[in-house]
Structure 1
């Protein structure tokens, strides 16, 4: 197992043959597309990459990502912290090869002659893991100042007649 800084570029086929594991942290500041969505680019992504061959002799890269990010809550417009990440399994295939027949649960990762950019891969997965509409838990969140929440309808309010009900009656009357 290799700990410490994760190299930005690797050859996953060689790492599969060595059954290597890379573990470390990647700074969020190196991921500009993710940072555009955040209120702060401070922090790190804890990442673990395991390279191996599965039961079917497929070259596999298992990725585990974990990060805390700060985004603007869309309810109160204050910064909120969210836990993002997940586990991903990639079947490493030669560029241009068919991806049909991959076992369920594997994403295809086409690798050519160029080394694999791990930072870009992590950035892509984090972008997909970010909440679409970030909001605090309702118990923690207050509406912004000057915003009036919609009043709850009370049971004591009586129903007012619909002003268009007269038109409905006219529509039903064949003499009009």
Structure 2
């Protein structure tokens, strides 16, 4: 894993980054991190993935912005911008096969010194997140956190190459279980739902039809 800074002859250790110096000087830095360095992210990668150790490139930029203080004056406050780009293999929840998910993260953070300061910021500000900075900041941990937050709610292919057998036959059953049905109808003669399940009102409709056919009390003609 290599990292470099735009400062002549400079380099950064992403696990012990002085973010306050970086923001004060307006420096930039870049590097890459592999999935094997991100244990929580690695847990999301299926064992049969073609590449379980993909690389993500990252870039950071420090800056300061003037903010109004309680006494009415303005003071420069530290901000950090992080960009992460790459792809990792996840398990499709539709066909259960590995697929490659692309990640493009661009996040801005307002740095503070303590957790107490962070809690004082309003929660409805979606322009940036507030994080506690330090002079030995673990940027790799922040990168992993952002990747985990960017995971899709339901990982899946846009179009699955094949359907998993459990989705065809049903868990614990087989496709032959429905051979008695004709043209998508259930045992009551009612069409099933779009998902292939029997119509839950079929039994009630059958009872109504049965009751309607006996209105004459069963008399013979």
**Count of matched residue pairs:** 167
**More strand per residue: 1 or 2?**
1
Q: CA deviation at 1:159?
A: 4.0
How much is the aligned-residue C-alpha RMSD, in angstroms?
Answer: 3.3
- Say whether 1:75 aligns with 2:94: yes
Select 2:168's aligned residue among 148, 152, 163. Answer: 148
- Alignment partner of 2:5 out of 2, 7, 10: 2
- Structure exhibiting the larger radius of gyration computed from Cα positions: 2
Deviation at 1:72, TM superposition (A): 1.2
CA distance 1:94–1:143, shift in 2 (3 Å): same
C-alpha displacement of 1:8: 1.8
Residue number in structure 1 paired with 2:71: none
| Contact preservation (8 Å) 1:74, 1:133 | yes
Residue 163 (structure 1) shift: 3.1
Give the equivalent residue in structure 1 for 2:107: 88
Q: 2:63 aligned to 52, 64, 76, which one?
A: 52
Could you tell me the TM-score, scaled by structure 1's length?
A: 0.78
Q: 2:15–2:136: 8 Å Cα contact kept in structure 1?
A: no
Structure 2 length normalisation: TM-score? 0.63
CA distance in structure 2 between the partners assigned to 1:2 and 1:54 by the alignment: 21
Moved more, 65-74 or 153-162: 153-162
Q: Deviation string for 1:114-167 (max 9, x for gaps)?
A: 6110111111111111122211112x432024642799x969997479432447
Structure 2: runs of 5+ lacking an equivalent:
68-75, 170-174, 192-200, 213-221
Give the unaligned 5+ runs of structure 1: 171-176
Are the structure 2 counterparts of residues 18 and 146 from structure 1 closer, same or farther at C-alpha, using a change threshold of 3 Å? closer
- Partner residue, 1:115: 136
Give me the whole-angstrom Cα distance separating, in 2, the residues matched to 1:137 and 1:154: 29
Q: Secondary structure at the match of 1:16?
A: helix
Q: Mean alpha-carbon deviation: is it higher for 85-94 or for 54-63?
A: 54-63
Worse-superposed segment, 55-64 or 74-83: 55-64
Of 160-169 and 35-44, deviating more is 160-169
